[in-house]
């Protein structure tokens, strides 16, 4: 008679895979700050270079259309503090059918440090969320463009 090995649960393996992926992404940003896009593509991410000239005008004209968006703008503009409620608002906005992409994208393009804090907060609480890793990679493009990253 053999002793049965305890099988890892799906949750455990998902958590381990997420941690491995998070470490790979962190390593890429640390070791390849000027070539991170191709390195992220090497591990399965897909890059979409969709910056159109009219996007910036669309972003400048974008206004909050509901309370959730107003709360996010208040946070990005230092009128509200980072909280779980703000994080949930950000997640809900991105998942909404009528997401105000130009409004949110404006803060990515500005490399808004409150947005970065929000993404890092989310990753700290939910380390395996691929959407947050993807958002951080997108944010990093603009942060490098603004020269706010030290190498």
pLDDT in tens, 57-115: 899 999 999 999 999 999 999 999 999 999 999 999 999 999 999 999 999 999 999 99
Residue 136 structure tokens: 């951080």
Given pLDDT bands bounded at 50, 70 and 90, which one contains residue 147? Answer: low
Residue with tokens 């972003």: 59
3-state helix, strand, coil in the chain (%, to 5): 65, 0, 35
The C-alpha torsion from 139 through 140 and 145 to 149, rounded to 10°, is 130
What is the value of pTM for the model shown? 0.63
């Amino acid at each position: 008679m053999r002793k049965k090995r305890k099988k890892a649960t799906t949750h455990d393996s998902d958590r381990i895979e997420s941690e491995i992926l998070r470490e790979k992404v962190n390593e890429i940003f640390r070791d390849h700050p000027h070539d991170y896009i191709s390195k992220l593509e090497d591990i399965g991410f897909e890059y979409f270079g969709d910056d159109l000239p009219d996007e910036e005008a669309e972003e400048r004209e974008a206004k909050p259309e509901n309370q959730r968006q107003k709360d996010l703008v208040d946070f990005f503009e230092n009128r509200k503090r980072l909280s779980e409620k703000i994080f949930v608002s950000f997640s809900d906005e991105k998942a909404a059918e009528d997401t105000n992409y130009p409004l949110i994208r404006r803060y990515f393009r500005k490399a808004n440090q409150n947005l970065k804090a929000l993404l890092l907060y989310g990753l700290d609480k939910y380390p395996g969320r691929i959407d947050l890793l993807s958002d951080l990679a997108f944010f990093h493009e603009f942060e490098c463009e603004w020269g706010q990253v030290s190498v």
